[in-house]
Amino acid sequence: MTKLPNILILLATVGAVFGAGVFHGIRQLFGAQVDLLPALMVYTALSSGPPMMITVAVLGGLLFDTLSANPLGTSVLPLLLVGFLVQPRRDLILRDQTYAQVVLGLLASAVVPALSILILLTLGHSPSLGWGSLWQWVVMSVGGAVAAPIFFITFGWLNHALGYQRIIETSFRPDREIRRRRNSP
């Protein structure tokens, strides 16, 4: 297996975190910033193994916490939880179906911020919560639901365009005839 899909996932992780910090168009339009890491975590859990899933959760969570007001490491545990809930069931999930991708992206994008707030409250921090937080949570959840199928389409296209397709050839040709005869002494 090539390392290209893993490299692309790591580049997308860094790009998703820093893109959310740089581009403010969605924040100005809807009043909330969409977090792409939960949707990317769903894609990683369905397409890669546990080491890559853990790497994306730790790297993405630490980068996200570096650029946010969260204490360092707050986002790692919710991302890991999403990955560990999805990854063992990846053979049962219809990962090629857009409906399943949307539902998983929606659930992951709803669970990660809720668990992050729960962790902050458990650690004794007092995040500012109100009715506006509910709107931000809805926007983040819907944004993750939209982003998950886009990740699947984009990574599928990139893997097809940049990766090589293995051609399976056998030495047996179906039109070949094998002649057998007995050698008489």
Checking if the pLDDT of 1 tops 60, the result is no
Q: Of 56, 44, 37, whose CA–CA distance to 108 is shortest?
A: 37
Instruction: State what percent of residues in the chain have pLDDT above 70.
Output: 92
**Does some domain include residue 169?**
no
pLDDT tens for each residue of 26-79: 888 888 888 999 999 999 999 999 999 999 999 999 999 998 888 998 999 999
- Please check whether residue 179 lies inside any domain of the structure: no
Residue 123 lies in a domain: yes
Is the residue at 105 inside a domain?
Answer: yes
Tell me the per-residue pLDDT of 106-122, one tens digit each, with 9 for 90 and over: 999 999 999 999 999 99
Quick check: 59 and 10 in contact, CB under 8 A? yes
Q: What is the average pLDDT across 79-98?
A: 90
Find the domain containing 84 and state its range.
Answer: 4-161
Question: What letter represents residue 7's amino acid?
Answer: I
* Mean pLDDT of the region 70-94: 91
Q: How many domains does the chain have?
A: 1
The 10s digit of each residue's pLDDT in 160-180 is 888 777 777 766 666 666 667
> In whole angstroms, what separates CA 67 from the centre of its chain?
20
Give the model's pLDDT for residue 172: 66
